[in-house]
Amino acid sequence: MSKTKERILDASLAMFNEQGERQVTTNHIARELGMSPGNLYYHFKNKDEIVVRLYRRLIEGVSEGIVLPSDRLMTLKDKHGLLEQVLQSLWAYRFIYRDLRDPDSRSSELAIAARELTRLSLSSFKRVLRACVDAGIMNIQPEDIDGLAMNNYLVLSGWQGLVTSCFDQVCQLSPEELARSAIYQILLMDRPYITDSARAEFEHMQSEYRVII
């Protein structure tokens, strides 16, 4: 991808996150970059094409961020480190979960990207949970893994919209503290499945992630 395309994507992402995707036009983006609208259209034919490419960037980030240990068993620290990486990626592209509630109504390309991100996230969370079971730190029945993975995903994806629409304007917590609060919600869901051997480490981790909003 050309440097100019990357500049357009970087500027668009920053503006969508700060101002709201619906409030930003291609003319605004071109003006921000000091280029003509015609030059921008040479690289992206419309705003939806920019949004789809940003969606693809997020998919790549999530895919690259969820890498399980290959030379040892999974640990609780590994699991929540992976969740933190996912949260960082989602926060960097927070306009997607805040502003694009109905991608099917925008374009088929955007709807395809949205479904791909959801499928990738769910399959990744299932792999993480199965690795935790294999490591003996969680005891989850096979039929419950799909549901717990879905709940984990709903918390992480829904957290973006909740924070940006409610909390970031009224509370004094930093984005990092708000991210820890999302992990804490997942810890509450994980708690019934933690094995006795991992209980002490889990309790310590839960106290570290506890944040009062």
The 10s digit of each residue's pLDDT in 50-88 is 999 999 999 998 888 888 999 999 999 999 888 888 888
Please state, for a pLDDT cut of 90, what percent of the chain lies above it.
Answer: 61
Res 112: pLDDT: 94
122, 153 Cβ separation under 8 angstroms = yes
- Is 90 part of a structural domain of the chain? yes
pLDDT confidence band for 13 (50 / 70 / 90):
very high
Give the global pTM: 0.85
Q: What is the pLDDT of residues 45-59, one digit of tens each?
A: 999 999 999 999 999
24 and 102 co-located in one domain: no
31 and 64 co-located in one domain: no
25 and 65 co-located in one domain: no
CATH number for the domain including 174? 1.10.357.10
Task: Tell which wins on pLDDT, 120 or 156.
Answer: 120
pLDDT confidence band for 200 (50 / 70 / 90):
very high
174 and 85 co-located in one domain: yes
C-alpha distances (whole Å) from 153 to each of 54, 138, 167, 183, 198 are 20, 18, 20, 11, 23
The domain in which residue 35 lies consists of 1-45
- Is 177 part of a structural domain of the chain? yes
28 and 101 co-located in one domain: no
- Is 197 part of a structural domain of the chain? yes
Q: What is the mean pLDDT of residues 108-133?
A: 93
First to last CA, the chain: 41
- Is 169 part of a structural domain of the chain? yes
- Is 133 part of a structural domain of the chain? yes
133-164 CB burial, b ≥16 within 10 A, e <16: bebebbebeeeebeebbeebbebbbebbebbb
Res 162: pLDDT: 67
- Is 77 part of a structural domain of the chain? yes
Please state, for a pLDDT cut of 70, what percent of the chain lies above it.
Answer: 90
The domain total for the chain is 2
Q: What is the mean pLDDT of residues 203-210?
A: 87
Q: What is the pLDDT of residues 1-12, one digit of tens each?
A: 689 999 999 999
36 and 83 co-located in one domain: no
100 and 172 co-located in one domain: yes
33 and 102 co-located in one domain: no
Q: What is the pLDDT of residues 134-175, one digit of tens each?
A: 999 999 999 999 999 999 988 888 776 666 665 555 556 666
- Is 28 part of a structural domain of the chain? yes
- Is 94 part of a structural domain of the chain? yes
Phi, psi (degrees; rounded to nearest 5) at 2: -70, 160
Token pair in block for residue 106: 């925008």
31 and 85 co-located in one domain: no
CATH number for the domain including 15? 1.10.10.60
